[in-house]
Chain A
Amino acid sequence: MSDDQTTQIREAIQSAISENPVILFMKGSPDQPMCGFSARTVAILQHVGTPFAAVNILPDPRIRQELSGLSNWPTIPQLFIDGEFVGGCDIVSEMYESGELQQALGVEDAGEPGQAAPEPEPQEPAPLTIENRL
């Protein structure tokens, strides 16, 4: 493994987090999530109606490795709002149900608090991808 490539990946992740007000690191893409937890988190973000960037961590295992090193969080998905790590699926779900997520995103609550998360809906392709620099 090249240290240069690992550094490039880490810097690409840091740039993506600082340049996108809402960014989700996930398995798969919003229109094709590869894991139930990623799918649920995407569905919540779509339901509250916030635009968000998404990065698929699956193409290169080093993305996840570097991301988890930055966030000190072992699992995927991971949501960042305004450069701050917010949490994974469990925390995003709790925050959605309590209304804290909508508050953090500065959006009106599109659904009743306490409702179960909606099913994923198809959407546009991910607005951002980290290139696989191999």
Chain B
Amino acid sequence: MAATDAPATPEELKQRIEAGIPGATADVTGDGHHFNAVVSAPAFHGLSRIAQHRLVYDVFGAEVGDRIHALSIQTKAKAAERENSA
């Protein structure tokens, strides 16, 4: 394994969450093994907490518990942006 051998960083996790969940905003802190992610996304709207957290875990698949030793998650639904501007 090449790239996945590199230690995970908060910045990497943030980018992958924001890329993996449409419209998501993530604040990630961590030490390379234990991470904490606060994630807001319109996709969370109407979902249970469990379903919201699963969306975040799904971004990383089997890396959770392995390369990403621990990932604490807090999720918040945020309103979908209706503005036309990008």
Contacts and interface: CB of A to CB of B under 8 A. Distances in A.
B74 A87 contact: no
B65 A90 contact: no
Contacts of A72: 54
A91 B49 contact: yes
Contacts of B50: 73, 85-87, 91
Interface residues of A, number: 14
A113 to B, nearest CB: 17
B43 interface: no
B70 A90 contact: no
What DSSP secondary structure best describes chain A's contact surface?
A: mixed
Given A72-B54, A75-B64, A75-B65, A94 B49 contact: yes
A42 interface: no
B65 A74 contact: yes
B72 A87 contact: no
B53 interface: yes
Interface in A76-104: 76, 85-91, 94
A66 to B, nearest CB: 14
A103 to B, nearest CB: 14
Contact of B70 (A37, A73, A91): A37
A87 B73 CA distance: 11
The 8 A-B pairs at the shortest CB distance, nearest first, are namely A74-B64, A91-B49, A74-B57, A90-B72, A90-B73, A74-B65, A87-B50, A75-B65
Interface of B: 49-50, 53-54, 57, 62, 64-65, 70-74
Interface of A: 37, 72-76, 85-91, 94
10 contacts: A37-B72, A73-B57, A74-B57, A74-B64, A75-B64, A75-B65, A75-B71, A85-B50, A87-B53, A89-B72
